[in-house]
Amino acid sequence: MLSGPSCLPYKGRQSSSPDGAIHAVVDFNGQDAWVDTSQIYIKECNVSFQCVCAIEDTTLRALASDSSPSNGHLQQAECLSITDTSREQHVAGWTSVVTATLNPAWVKNAHVAFHDQCTGLGLPTFKPATQLSGCPNIVTREEWGARQPISTSLLPATPQFLVVHHGATPTCKTREQCIRLVKSYQDYHMDGHGWDDIAYSFLVGEDGNVYEGRGWTRHGSHTRHYNDVALGFCVIGNFMDRPPNHKALRALHQLIGCTTRNHKVRSDYTLLGHRDTNPHTLCPGDKLHDVITRWPHFNFNNARVS
């Protein structure tokens, strides 16, 4: 594991993986190793790092801890200067930065790239924040034509729960059909309910694609009393009388897997259906609920029923 800010000698070679990612070959303890170029900055190793740039939206903390109070937010591709070298800059995976208000704050190294300057940056081309390692294909908000949210807020900490929903609507078997339904969900949530955006973190279609909702880090509106501690995954369709098709179930399973592998949820997370949190709903449908009860980490006893 290479955690920033760290340097390894670059061996001047790159290779591409089947998913299109470009990896640089580096020397790690005398052996060749490969590192994703979207997560590194190639520079001479004797430079001192002066700046961090966010590779995804992230929360700044008052202290170097996920449980510390928020001290602001850093949006994807936004940069901040690292604090003066006269003080301790790096502690156990965190880096101290200077905010716009000149107040020091701490940012998690896993969420940023390191640079030797904050001006005139040619930022690396990062993979979309949604398309993490091992994910199914994720159609971004830009690709499906999402409306701008009214406002946004980030989750206060790494979520503890994954909550599965269904849309209780017709299903979709093509990307075009799914995009129309996802747009209708967003319109209904924003115009019908007055919410800031589409409710869910991600949506899954029976075309086998996943559609970005609020994403990995934003506070949702999908599950009462859970929105600040959970990600909400909605399968498009009505699954009272039948389970989702193989494409949708595979995409949902892969989405949960890449969520856990990329530390977007706590390692001891609990998987729930919407009905497990609220006795007044049948969501996510009888047949989809039957499926997820057999998946790892499902535990109704951990639910906080409202």
DSSP 227: T
- Return d(Cα 254, Cα 273) in angstroms, integer: 17
Spatial CA neighbour of 52 closest among 39, 65, 66: 39
The CA–CA distances, whole Å, from 108 to 29, 54, 60, 96, 146 equal 25, 10, 8, 9, 29
DSSP 149: P
Strand 94-98 vs strand 22-28: parallel, antiparallel, or unpaired?
unpaired
Mark whether 236 and 150 lie in a shared domain.
Answer: yes
Q: What is the pLDDT along the chain (306 residues), one digit of tens a residue?
A: 555 556 666 555 655 555 555 566 666 666 777 766 555 545 545 556 778 877 777 888 888 888 888 888 887 777 888 876 444 566 667 888 887 666 778 988 877 777 766 655 544 434 455 677 788 999 999 899 999 999 888 888 889 999 999 999 999 999 999 999 999 999 999 999 999 999 999 999 999 999 999 999 899 999 999 999 999 999 999 999 999 999 999 999 999 999 998 889 999 999 999 999 999 999 999 999 999 999 999 998 888 755
Supply the pLDDT for residue 126. 40
Give the chain's domain count. Answer: 2
The predicted model scores a pTM of 0.64
What does the chain come to in residues? 306
φ/ψ of residue 208, rounded to 5? 95, 0
Mark whether 145 and 111 lie in a shared domain.
Answer: no
Strand 161-166 vs strand 112-115: parallel, antiparallel, or unpaired?
unpaired
Mark whether 162 and 272 lie in a shared domain.
Answer: yes
Mark whether 243 and 145 lie in a shared domain.
Answer: yes
Residue pair 167/233 in contact (Cβ under 8 Å)? The answer is: no
Mark whether 156 and 229 lie in a shared domain.
Answer: yes
Q: How far is CA 161 from the centre of its chain?
A: 14
Q: Which two tokens stand for residue 281?
A: 């709903």
State the CATH number of the domain containing residue 59: 2.30.30.40
State the CATH number of the domain containing residue 200: 3.40.80.10
Domain boundary among 115, 146, 178: 115
Domain boundary among 84, 115, 146: 115
